[in-house]
Amino acid sequence: MALTPAEAFDKYVRENSEFVTRDGLRIPVFRGRQHLTELHREDLRSLLANLQNGFNEALAQRKKVPEHLDDLPFYLDYIDSDFSNAVAFRDDSSAFIGITVPLVYELLKICDLLSDSEPIRRILGLENTQELRDWLNIVLFQHLLSLVVTHEFTHHVHGHVLKHQSQSKFFSEFVAGNQNTNIERQAEEADADGYAAYHVLANFIDGGTRKNISAVLKLDSALPDVVDQVLFSCFVIVAGAFLFSRPPVDLTKEDLFGLSHPPQAARLDYLMRHSILWCKENRPSLVDWMTNDRFQQTMRAVAEATWGMNGGLNWDAQTTFLRSERGEKYLQELSRLIDAQKAALRASADASFQEAQGDVESLQSQRFFRTFFQAASSSRIGHGLREYIEQRNGGYFIKGTRISLDSVVYAFLRGESPEGIAESFPDLSLEEIFGALAFYMANRKIIDHYLAEGRLEFEALRQQARRDNPVLYSKLADARHRTHMPKA
C-alpha cells in the first residue's frame, strides 16, 4: 500500500538522519517527523498544526508555471531534531519541505525580541501597548516563516533539489558540510532568497493579508502609502533579523568559496536588490522612500534587538570585505552564475519567461495567507512569555533571587532532575527551575562559554548530561521558547 505523504516524509527523514562531517564522523541530526502531540505547549501545537495546514493547502493550490521544474505534489511537515534547520527533499511521490522544531522556536524568539524593541516599534510608527506588541509579534512571525518556506519552495521549483539529489539527501540550510559546496550552490541559495522576497512582498503588500494586518496594527485609517511602508519595513526587519541571528561567518578565516551559502551581508544585499525590483514593478514610491539612511537605521535597530542571539557579529567585517576588490569580484561572479542558472531554467522549460511576475502568482493564493494569518492570530504567541533570568554584577541569576544560574545548571549537568533541584533550592518554584533550564537550553552557546571560563569539568559534565537524560533534554527544548535573553 502506498504511504501517506506524512509517512513518506517520516521514512525519508529517518533513513537519512545522519550528517556526515568532512572527517567522516556520523552525527544523527534528525529523529524523524515531529508528532505535534508530543510538544509541550498546547497553543504552540495548534499554531504549528494550523500553519502546516495553511501551507499545505496553498502549496496544493499553486498554479502551474511553465518555468517551474520538479512538479510533484508538495508536502510540508516538522522534523524532530535538536538543531535549527529547514530542508527541501524529494522522493518519487512528493516534494517535501521540512522545518525542525528548534528552528520554529528560534524564529519565535527572534520575533519576541523584535516586537519588544522600542526602536523597532518607532520605525514602524506603532504605539507601545501590549496588544500592539502581541500583534506585531505575530505579523513578524508570519513574514519570517513565509520567507523560510518560500525559500525552500524555490529549491524545488527551480530544480535545485533534483539537480543535486545524487550528491546530498537534503537541501539543507544550516548544517553544512555534507555537500560539496561551491559558488554554484551559493548562487542557488541567493536565487532562493531573491525569489522568496518576491513571494513575501507580493503576498503581504498586495495579497489578501494586507487587510488583516492593517486591522490588527490599527492602520485602518492610514493612507495606503503608509500601510505599504509599514509592510515593507516589516519585511526588511525580518530579513535582516534572520541573517543577523545566524552564527556569523568570519571571512578572514573561512574559505569563501567553500561556504554552503553566501556570507550574510551578501545575502542581505541580494534580498534587498530583489525587494527593490519588486517595488519598482509594483510600488515605485517605496523605492524612493527606503533611502540608504532609513535602511541603515532599520538594520541598526534590528542588530540591537537581536544582539543576544548572534547580533550581527562580524557583520562589519563582511561588509568591508564585500566592498573590497576581492569582494566585488565575488559578488560579480555570484550574479553571473545566478543569471546563467535562470537562463538555463527558462531554456529547459521551453517557454517565454515573464520576468518573475508569473512565478509569484503560483503561490499567490489569497486563501493561503488568510488561513495562515488566522492560524497565527488564534494562538496569540506573544502572551504568557516570561523572563526567568536576569543579569547582575556580571553574572546570571534567577530573577528576583540570589540564586545563580550556574548553581541550577550545574545541578542539572550532574544529572539531577528539576524536581530534585527544587528540593535543593526551596526558594525556587519548579516553574522557575524549568524556566532557568529552558533559558540555558535556548542560550547554550553563550552560557556554556560563560560557565566554561575557568572550569574544566564543565564540558565533561555537559556531554554526560546529554547521554543520561535525553527525555528531559527534549522536554527542555520544547520549553525553551518561554525564555527571553536578557538585554545586556
Binding site residues, Zn ion, CB under 5 A: 189, 192
Q: Which of 123, 344, 135, 334 is nearest to 229 (CA)?
A: 123
> Considering the complex, what minimum distance in angstroms separates the CB of residue 225 from Zn ion?
33
Cβ-based nearer residue to Zn ion, 146 or 209: 146
Cβ-based nearer residue to Zn ion, 112 or 189: 189
> Considering the complex, what minimum distance in angstroms separates the CB of residue 260 from Zn ion?
8
Cβ-based nearer residue to Zn ion, 103 or 227: 103
> Considering the complex, what minimum distance in angstroms separates the CB of residue 337 from Zn ion?
15
Q: Which of 151, 154, 158 is nearest to 348 (CA)?
A: 158
Residue type, 479: A
Continuous segment of H or E residues that includes residue 90: strand 86-90
Identify whether the C-beta of residue 248 lies closer than 8 Å to the C-beta of residue 310. yes
Q: Could you tell me what percentage of the chain is helix, strand and coil, using 3-state DSSP and rounding each to the nearest 5?
A: 60, 10, 30
Cβ-based nearer residue to Zn ion, 89 or 232: 89
Cβ-based nearer residue to Zn ion, 152 or 478: 152
> Considering the complex, what minimum distance in angstroms separates the CB of residue 85 from Zn ion?
10
> Considering the complex, what minimum distance in angstroms separates the CB of residue 38 from Zn ion?
27
Cβ-based nearer residue to Zn ion, 145 or 205: 145
d(Cα 157, Cα 162) in Å, to the nearest integer?
A: 9
Residues 6+ apart with CB under 8 A from 278: 197, 198, 201, 202, 356
Cβ-based nearer residue to Zn ion, 176 or 277: 176
At residue 300, the 3 state secondary structure works out as helix
Cβ-based nearer residue to Zn ion, 134 or 173: 173
d(Cα 9, Cα 28) in Å, to the nearest integer?
A: 17
Burial 441-479 (b: 16+ CB within 10 A, else e): bbbeebbeeebeeeeeebeebbeebeeebeebbbbbbbb
> Considering the complex, what minimum distance in angstroms separates the CB of residue 57 from Zn ion?
23
At residue 397, the 3 state secondary structure works out as strand
> Considering the complex, what minimum distance in angstroms separates the CB of residue 466 from Zn ion?
28
CA distances from 384 to 112, 130, 266, 423, 482 (A): 11, 12, 37, 26, 8
Looking at the chain, how many residues does it have?
488
Region for 57 from its dihedrals, namely left if φ exceeds 0, alpha if ψ lies in -120 to 50, beta otherwise: alpha
> Considering the complex, what minimum distance in angstroms separates the CB of residue 476 from Zn ion?
28
> Considering the complex, what minimum distance in angstroms separates the CB of residue 156 from Zn ion?
11
Cβ-based nearer residue to Zn ion, 131 or 254: 254
